[in-house]
Amino acid sequence: MHLATQDFPRIWISNDSPSNWKEQLEALLEQGQRFVLLTRELPGAASDGPDNDAEAFSQWIKDNRDRLRLCCAASLVVVNNALMAFSLNAFVAPLSKKLGFPVRVVHEDELDSQVTAYLQATPALENS
């Protein structure tokens, strides 16, 4: 998995090589500024090749949940079909509670407004 950070605070995730996600996420967390994770790849659509590190990525997200939820304003899957965005949100919404930050599917026409809204929102702090 590859993270592109040049459009910070928009952090694009892809299944492309080279794999740099761990180093990039650690650097983002050290930076301490809020960002939004973006992808055009639906969850579970990872490649089956030898460079597939989706399991390691998922485990890292779980292990670093508390740190990540303070900086990650949201994770948005960008699609080009509004009906698909609406329909898929029911399936990805439960991930929000599990990960500690909002996970949504958004239509590409709404991307700018959604990124802005999530970056401006105050992170929810848990009492436990």
Condensed to tens digits (0 to 9), the pLDDT of residues 28-78 reads: 999 999 999 999 987 655 554 444 577 888 889 889 999 998 999 999 999
In a domain, 127, yes or no: no
**Taking the model in full, what pTM does it have?**
0.86
Indicate whether 126 belongs to any domain.
no
SS (H, E, C) the chain: CEEECCCCCEEEEECCCCCCHHHHHHHHHHHCCCEEEEECCCCCCCCCCCCCCHHHHHHHHHHCHHHHHHHEEEEEEEECCHHHHHHHHHHHHHHHHHHCCCEEEEEHHHHHHHHHHHHHCCCCCCCC
List Cα–Cα distances, 19 to 26, 57, 59, 102, 106, in angstroms.
Answer: 14, 10, 16, 24, 25
Q: Are 44 and 72 in contact (CB under 8 A)?
A: no
Based on the structure, what is the number of domains in the chain? Answer: 1
Residue 128 resides in a domain: no
Q: Please report whether residue 27 resides in a domain.
A: yes
Whether 125 is in a domain gets the answer no
Give residue 15's domain range.
2-120
pLDDT digits (tens, 9 = 90+) for 93-117: 888 888 889 999 999 999 999 999 9
